[in-house]
């Protein structure tokens, strides 16, 4: 028999993937959510996604967008928001990448005074850049006392260096500081490992570039509406140049097989719910009614993904010009607006509690509840 359960408003989760400078896409995505009246109850991220999530979670709702924009202004150089002809974009972006590699980024990271190849063993010998400025920036822009007051939830993932374990730090169980999002973004060999307690951590993307599995593991009996904002696309064209080869390799590496992973997680979640409602007596003639799953926690994952801009290059994730930040933010805004207008999570759930919604190339939305995707709009 199906359980009766009063319909309740789902918790809104914003899940942000890692991707360096591509993370400006998150700004626009959040702006669209805010304009549509969605106030996340839970922020989660890895790498740049963790930094953005910390800024959002660590401010009052009416200040979040302002502070997120301030963060990106702080870590980019003035005078780099140029109006260019499309033919000039590639050259402009390469100059911006060269600046980042040579001089670092303001209030974010600076190059080591001594090459790690010749430095004495220790932290300075394990990375090319120093992330000390990032700690100060986060402490100025993020109210960690607010995060730890549990008014909103923050989860960030980082890789423990000594055993390769992906560890999720969660404000409901851990006291979070600037070290936690910094650890989540400590990508070697560019950045040093970040110490938390007795352990040292690298970027969560070393293991998995999306914190979705952590969210689903930590979630309790709440209905969830998860907006998952990715920066790398697992699907792409066959490369025709070396530049395209290098970019495609990064996409495959950092996309973390997102769609396949999510479909597996969705299938597992649905199976767990079904087994939870299976009669305890194995030889019972009762057959569990799959429609009873409608009364269990409902999870909808709405997925949008950044598409590279004109003039991008294999190092676009280190290209922090204000021009590119603006364009990536605009793209995130438009993509999230389209997702909100389609509202694919409002479709009938067909008796299964967990669904993954993503947009197809033709603009329609696909829904996965088991191992297949089907068009819903």
Task: Give the sign of the dihedral formed by CA 285, CA 291, CA 293, CA 295.
Answer: negative
The DSSP bridge partners found for residue 224 are 11, 299
Identify whether the C-beta of residue 152 lies closer than 8 Å to the C-beta of residue 135. Answer: no
132-141 vs 64-74: helix crossing angle, rounded to 10: 160
Distance (Å, whole) CA 48 – CA 21: 8
Is 173 an annotated catalytic residue? Answer: no
Q: Which long-range contacts (CB under 8 A, 24 or more apart) does 268-274 make?
A: 269/216, 269/299, 269/353, 269/354, 270/352, 270/353, 270/354, 270/369, 270/370, 273/297, 273/352, 273/353, 273/354
* DSSP label at residue 322: H
Using DSSP's 3-state secondary structure scheme, residue 367 falls into strand
Catalytic residue among 203, 300, 317, 335: 203
Distance (Å, whole) CA 292 – CA 228: 27
Is 127 an annotated catalytic residue? Answer: no
64-74 vs 48-57: helix crossing angle, rounded to 10: 140
SS (H, E, C) 68-134: HHHHHHHCCCCCCCCCCCHHHHHHHHHHHHHHHHHHCECCCEEECCCCCCCCCCCHHHCCCEECHHH
Distance (Å, whole) CA 159 – CA 207: 7
Omega before 326 cis (within 30°)?
no
Closest-CA residue to 263 (of 348, 108, 373, 104): 373
User: Phi, psi (5° rounding) for residue 13?
Assistant: -115, 135
Which positions are catalytic? Answer: 47, 203
């Amino acid at each position: 028999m199906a359980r009766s359960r009063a319909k309740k408003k789902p918790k809104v989760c914003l899940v942000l993937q890692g991707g360096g400078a591509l993370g400006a896409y998150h700004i626009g995505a959040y702006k669209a959510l805010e304009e549509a009246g969605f106030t996340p109850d839970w922020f989660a991220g890895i790498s740049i996604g963790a930094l953005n999530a910390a800024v959002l979670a660590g401010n009052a709702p009416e200040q979040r967008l302002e502070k997120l924009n301030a963060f990106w202004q702080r870590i980019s150089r003035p005078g780099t928001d140029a109006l260019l002809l499309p033919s000039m974009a590639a050259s402009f972006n390469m100059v911006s990448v060269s600046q980042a590699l040579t001089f670092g980024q303001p209030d974010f990271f600076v190059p080591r005074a001594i090459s790690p190849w010749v430095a004495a063993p220790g932290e300075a010998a394990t990375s090319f850049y120093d992330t000390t400025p990032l700690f100060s920036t986060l402490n100025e822009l993020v109210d960690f006392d607010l995060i730890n007051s549990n008014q909103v939830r923050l989860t960030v993932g980082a890789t423990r260096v000594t055993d390769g374990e992906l560890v999720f730090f969660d404000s409901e169980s851990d006291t979070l500081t600037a070290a936690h999002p910094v650890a989540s973004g400590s990508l070697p060999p560019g950045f040093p490992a970040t110490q938390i307690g007795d352990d040292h951590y690298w970027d969560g993307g070393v293991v998995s570039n999306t914190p979705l599995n952590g969210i689903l593991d930590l979630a309790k009996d709440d209905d969830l509406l998860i907006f998952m904002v990715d920066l790398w696309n697992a699907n792409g064209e066959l490369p025709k140049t070396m530049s395209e080869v290098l970019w495609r390799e990064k996409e495959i590496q950092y996309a973390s097989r997102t769609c396949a992973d999510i479909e597996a997680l969705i299938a597992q979640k649905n199976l767990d719910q079904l087994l939870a409602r299976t009669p305890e007596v194995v030889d019972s003639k009762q057959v569990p009614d799959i429609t009873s799953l409608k009364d269990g926690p409902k999870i909808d994952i709405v997925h949008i993904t950044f598409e590279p801009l004109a003039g991008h290059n294999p190092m676009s994730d280190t290209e922090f010009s204000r021009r590119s930040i603006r364009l990536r933010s605009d793209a995130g805004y438009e993509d999230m607006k389209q997702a909100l207008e389609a509202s694919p999570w409002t479709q009938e759930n067909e008796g299964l509690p967990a669904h993954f919604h993503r947009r197809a190339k033709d603009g329609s939305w696909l829904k996965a509840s088991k191992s297949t995707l089907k068009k819903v709009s």
